[in-house]
Amino acid sequence: MQIRNGLRMLAHPGQLYEAFTRSQLYRSVIRNPWPTNARTRALAVMGSVFLHLQPTRTRPEAIKITYTWGLGGISFLFFLILTLTGVLLMFYYVPQVPLAYQNMLDLQGSVSFGQLMRNMHRWAAHGMVIVVFLHMCRVFYTGSYRPPREFNRIVGVILLVLTFLLSFTGYLLPWDQLSYWAVTVGTNMVGSTPFLGGLVQFLLLGDKTVGQNTLIRFYTLHVIALPLLLSLFLSVHFWRIRKDGFSRGL
Ligand code: HEM
């Protein structure tokens, strides 16, 4: 009997579709019908994690491209590209002094799309530093740091510092002359800071000079600690934008 019913439904695709949309499985994924009025639209927004991330109301002029220049969004796009290419790079890179530099050469010479992956990571990193800085300038220029957004501006400054730190820690990983000396100079500058400078320099290096201990510390900071912190503060940043709304016209 059931087989005959099933076959009958197959003969009528419309009925099959209707039975599918009424099934428990379908309704556990798609909870609301297609929104056709204000109520069902509100239900759809509240039931979707992605739509729910948007502010409840936005004035059209606030998201004009010539107001934000999309700089916050572009920064986030760079972060996504960096995460994706960074995970792919982790498949090949070993943070050990005798291996790191050779890994980079092998990645470029022997791995399919290896050079592309590495270049995308590097250029997206440069891009993110520049664009986050420009985004901060835009926030300053349009006065978007004023209340009630002063808290989000502070979260933004933390994001800027984390972006710089990600860039700095990543710079050592290829383990070439440029990265070795850049980190030597950078950490010596930290060491010259009065009072705690020497201690922080030693904590960063894990030694008196740049070596294996430094490489593993920078690697751990670069691939785990800093991206996690950045993701955490990004969530707070986006949540505040949603709560405060965009600044234009206020
Ligand atoms: C990883 C770094 C960052 C990302 C991904 C990011 C992302 C965003 C996005 C997507 C927006 C929405 C509108 C837009 O595109 O401008 C925004 C707004 C905002 N951001 Fe950022 N941001 C970052 C860093 C910063 C920094 C460094 C500051 C300031 C010091 C800052 C302060 C703000 C403020 C105050 C707003 C609200 C602007 C308004 O309402 O007009 N953000 N951010």
First-to-last alpha carbon distance for the chain, in angstroms, is 66
Judge if the beta carbon of residue 205 lies within 6 A of ligand 1: no
pLDDT of amino acid 81: 98
Instruction: Estimate to the nearest angstrom the gap between the alpha carbon of 181 and the chain centroid.
Output: 28
To the question of domain 64-244 being in CATH 3.90.1150.10, the answer is: no
Ligand 1: residue whose CA is nearest its atom 20: 156
Core vs surface per residue 144-158: b (16+ CB within 10 A) or e = bbeeebeebbebbee
135 Cβ closer than 6 Å to some ligand 1 atom: yes
The helix/strand/coil state of 2 is helix
**Centre of ligand 1 from the C-alpha of residue 166, in Å:** 18
Q: Give the torsion through C-alpha atoms of 201, 123, 116, 220, to 10 deg.
A: 20
The structure's pTM equals 0.85
Smallest CA separation from ligand 1 atom 8, residue: 72
How is the chain split among helix, strand and coil, in percent rounded to 5? 75, 0, 25
- Ligand 1 contacts CB of residue 69 (under 6 A): no
Ligand 1 centroid distance, CA of 208 (Å): 38
Q: Is residue 125 within 6 Å of ligand 1 at its C-beta?
A: no
Pocket test for ligand 1, best of 80, 139, 235, 248 (most atoms within 8 A of CB): 139
For the chain, where do the domains classified as CATH 1.20.810.10 start and end? 64-244
Best residue for ligand 1 mutational test, from 58, 141, 146, 237 (most atoms within 8 Å of Cβ): 237
CB of residue 214 inside a 6 A radius of ligand 1: no
Confirm or reject: Cβ of 131 under 6 Å from ligand 1: no
Q: Cα of 75 to ligand 1 centre, how many Å? A: 9
**Sequential pLDDT tens for the chain (250 residues):** 556 665 565 667 788 888 998 899 998 888 777 889 888 888 888 888 888 877 666 778 777 899 999 999 999 999 999 999 999 999 999 999 999 999 999 999 999 999 999 999 999 999 999 999 999 999 999 999 999 999 999 999 999 999 999 999 999 999 999 999 999 999 999 999 999 999 999 999 999 999 999 999 999 999 999 999 999 999 999 999 988 888 876 5
Using CB atoms within 10 A of its CB, is residue 131 exposed (0-12), middle (13-18) or buried (19+)? buried
Lookup: tokens for 229? 């912190």
Ligand 1 atom nearest to CA at 145: 35
Cα(102)–Cα(235) distance, integer angstroms: 37
CB of 76 within 6 A of ligand 1: the answer is yes
